[in-house]
Structure 1
Amino acid sequence: MKKKDLEEAAGITHYQMYKLANDKDITTDVIGAICTALEVEPNDIMDFIQEIDK
Structure 2
Amino acid sequence: MSLSSHVTELKKKHAFLSEQVEMAQRSPGMDDLRISELKKQKLLLKEEIQRLSA
TM-score, structure 1 as length reference: 0.31
Find the structure with the greater CA-based Rg.
2
TM-score, structure 2 as length reference: 0.31
Higher relative contact order (CA closer than 8 Å, sequence separation 6+): 2
